[in-house]
Amino acid sequence: MELIDNIELIDIGRRIRKIRKSKNITLKALSKKTFSVGKLSNIENGIGSVDKNDIELICSALDVPLSEVMKDEETEDIIIDINRASASLAIGNVEIAEKILKKLQKKITRGSEVEEKFYFTLGELYQHIQEYDKAILSFMKAITVEGSIRLRVRAFNAIACIKYKQGSINSAIELSTQALELGETSLKKSYETALTYLNLSIFYCYLRNFSLSKRYANLAIGIGERSIAQKGIYLIAIMGLMQGIDDEIDRKINNSIEYFQRENDLPNLKKALQSRYYLYKDNHKKIKLMLKEAKENIRMFMSATNWNQNKRFVLDLAHTFAFIAIKEKCYEEARDFLTFALEVRGEETKDLDYKTHYLYGSLYREWLKNKEKETFYLRRAVELLPENVSILEKAIILHELFLLEEHNTDSLFIKSSSLFYEFYNQQNKNFEIFNSVILDPQY
């Protein structure tokens, strides 16, 4: 085996030391899986005779790909571009990420040291643009490279997140279980393992298997950093709320709201705020107070200097609480929330306009009993329905409009469909809304 050049070894040694220290691994601990402390120290200082096999052994012990420490100029440029694509996706610049990855695809050779990272980032791109079959294929390619265990765990969890979104909860559980088998072997107390525990807790909570959900939530709390631990605590509170068995639910949910707000974790903040509805649903006075606080929160978000970046979140929050206000016959509050929705709407949120119109139609039906206005708003909602709207949501809006415009109300079709709709309102609607306060999985 050809020895590594001394000048190159200095850079390699510096990278090894940086990675080792970032993982809080001592030389003594690393020596148990590789070489003597003395030889490791020499390598980190760029001293001695070292070949590629020696570096591969150290990389394996540190759970990093060889490309992390031995970077030729071309590989280093590819890694920089992959990181640029990943950073672009993180801030929503999908077009830039797509251009970078398309350009890189020709440079990625099978079995190369950057193949795994490329396909993982490509999977993230497809996930952003909702091409889920392509995303799954890309994540699976990243897994089959069998490089970094950390990235493979993330890829399994990424596919699990897609399956969860598609409603295949059992498939999501199988995938996260595979991630856990990898993580518990080599990454016992890592962020990735804690996140896998949290995802499994979410999946089992969705299936109402509270014993397993609570077990995994507690495991996540036990080894996870603050953000994961707080999410585990929130999940346990939601389970207590669903079962009606936790006397400290109010405190746990309010603590979660404060934490998510402080960390600007907007998706989970919305879920935590919404969960208070189920906490207070038998107390109309507290619901009125909750709606008042929700309005104050929306005003606060709208007065923030960077609120334009959070328009979708504010609009989604206004829709959620308008729906709750209508359901609880707090019609003036519902009108206020819909006024917020009209103020917030813009070109970047036009795919949500149908919800504003649908909720206005509901308000005219329930509060003002104005069938003409209700019909107008429901027709407009149907015209504005985006392609990616859920089948259930589309069916509800179409059915409500059908009932308004159908004159032959004695037809068997209307009677039967009305019974299905009534059943949905009585049974499934609350079930679906309850699911909406469960956290979404992550990877």
Q: Where are the domains of the chain?
A: 6-68, 73-147
How does pLDDT run across 357-371, given as a tens digit for each residue? 999 999 999 999 999
Inter-axis angle of helices 391-405 and 371-384, to 10 degrees?
140
Which of the two residues, 390 and 206, has the higher pLDDT score? 206
| pLDDT, position 71 | 67
Output the CA torsion sign for 356, 358, 361, 367.
negative
pLDDT beyond 60 at 82? yes
| pLDDT, position 401 | 85
What's the CATH superfamily of 6-68? lambda repressor-like DNA-binding domains (1.10.260.40)
Query: Mean pLDDT lowest for which of 136-150, 365-379, 408-422?
Result: 408-422
How does pLDDT run across 320-368, given as a tens digit for each residue? 999 999 999 999 999 999 999 999 988 889 999 999 999 999 999 999 9
Dihedral pair phi/psi, residue 51, rounded to 5°: -115, 180
Q: What is the mean pLDDT of the chain?
A: 87
pLDDT beyond 60 at 416? no
Mean pLDDT of 122-146: 93
| pLDDT, position 420 | 64
Q: What is the CA radius of gyration of the chain?
A: 26
Amino acid symbol at 76: E
How does pLDDT run across 188-247, given as a tens digit for each residue? 788 999 999 999 999 999 999 999 999 999 999 999 889 999 999 999 999 988 887 767
How does pLDDT run across 38-74, given as a tens digit for each residue? 999 889 888 888 888 899 899 989 988 887 787 666 7
Output the CA torsion sign for 42, 44, 47, 51.
positive
| pLDDT, position 98 | 93
| pLDDT, position 197 | 96
Q: Which residues, other chains included, contact 87 with Cβ-Cβ below 8 Å and sequence gap of 6+?
A: none
pLDDT beyond 80 at 2? no
Would you state the structure tokens that stand for residue 201, as one six-digit string? 């807790």
Report in angstroms the alpha-carbon separations of 415 from 107, 143, 286, 408, 410: 62, 52, 37, 10, 7
Mean pLDDT of 127-152: 90
Residue found under tokens 């990877």? 443
- Residue 107 CB: number of other CB atoms within 10 A? 14
Mean pLDDT of 100-114: 81
Mean pLDDT of 366-390: 91
Task: Name the 3-class secondary structure at 195.
Answer: helix
Percent of residues, the chain, with pLDDT higher than 90 = 49
Which of the two residues, 205 and 402, has the higher pLDDT score? 205
**Confidence class for position 432, pLDDT limits 50, 70, 90:** low
Would you state the structure tokens that stand for residue 191, as one six-digit string? 């962020």
Residue found under tokens 């956290």? 439
| pLDDT, position 418 | 67
Q: Is the backbone of residue 370 left (phi > 0), alpha (psi -120 to 50) or beta?
A: beta
Mean pLDDT of 97-103: 93
Would you state the structure tokens that stand for residue 231, as one six-digit string? 């999410």
**Confidence class for position 304, pLDDT limits 50, 70, 90:** confident
| 137 touches 106 (CB < 8 A) | no
Q: Which residues pair with 51 in a beta bridge?
A: 3
pLDDT beyond 80 at 97? yes
| pLDDT, position 176 | 96
How does pLDDT run across 156-193, given as a tens digit for each residue? 999 999 999 888 899 999 999 999 998 877 777 889 99
| 267 touches 440 (CB < 8 A) | yes
Which of the two residues, 389 and 230, has the higher pLDDT score? 230
Q: Is the backbone of residue 48 left (phi > 0), alpha (psi -120 to 50) or beta?
A: left
| pLDDT, position 166 | 86
| pLDDT, position 113 | 63
**Confidence class for position 136, pLDDT limits 50, 70, 90:** very high
**Confidence class for position 405, pLDDT limits 50, 70, 90:** confident
| 46 touches 10 (CB < 8 A) | yes
| 438 touches 206 (CB < 8 A) | yes
| pLDDT, position 340 | 94
**CATH number of 73-147: 3.40.50.300, 3.40.50.720, 1.25.40.10, 2.60.40.10?**
1.25.40.10
**Confidence class for position 80, pLDDT limits 50, 70, 90:** confident
